[in-house]
Amino acid sequence: QVQLVESGGGLVQPGGSLRLSCAVSGSIFGIRTMAWYRQAPGKQRELVAKITNGGATNYADSVKGRFTISRDSGENTVYLQMNSLKHEDTADYYCNARVKVFNTWGDYWGQGTQVTVSS
């Protein structure tokens, strides 16, 4: 069994910053790509950023230059530093990880953390 637990969401003013964290725990035999997705009300879930186990990163155009994804492989944790937040960044943010449990790779999701950007 694998658990992804996010933290760090909340209410922030436009231009402000937040740091999201996601800790992966359980019967883990390996982790490949870790990622953050978000889903705004009435919209589809979209990829925000992802990072491979080699450290390569990829970002949605809408967050490039403002968000930074990083990971602590020793702690099985992924972070999302969000700066210069805008109203349109308001969404539920979900952590995703490609995890090996015994001999099987699978995609796992966190429960989501809400980010609200409002003055």
pLDDT given at position 75: 85
Amino acid at 57: T
Provide mean pLDDT across the span 86-99. Answer: 98
pLDDT at residue number 114: 98
What sign has the CA pseudo-torsion 33, 4, 86, 72? negative
Burial degree of 49 (CB within 10 A; 0-12, 13-18, 19+): buried
**pLDDT value of residue 70:** 97
Q: What percent of the chain has pLDDT over 90?
A: 96
Mean pLDDT for all residues in the chain: 96
In this prediction, residue 74 carries a pLDDT of: 84
The pLDDT of residue 40 is 96
pLDDT single digits (tens) 32-83: 999 999 999 999 999 999 999 999 999 999 999 999 999 998 889 999 999 9
Residues 33, 38, 43, 46, CA torsion sign:
negative
The rounded distance, in Å, linking the Cα atoms of 34 and 22 is 10
Question: How far apart are the C-alpha atoms of 79 and 1, rounded to whole Å?
Answer: 22
Whether 1 has a pLDDT exceeding 90, the answer reads no
DSSP state of 27: S
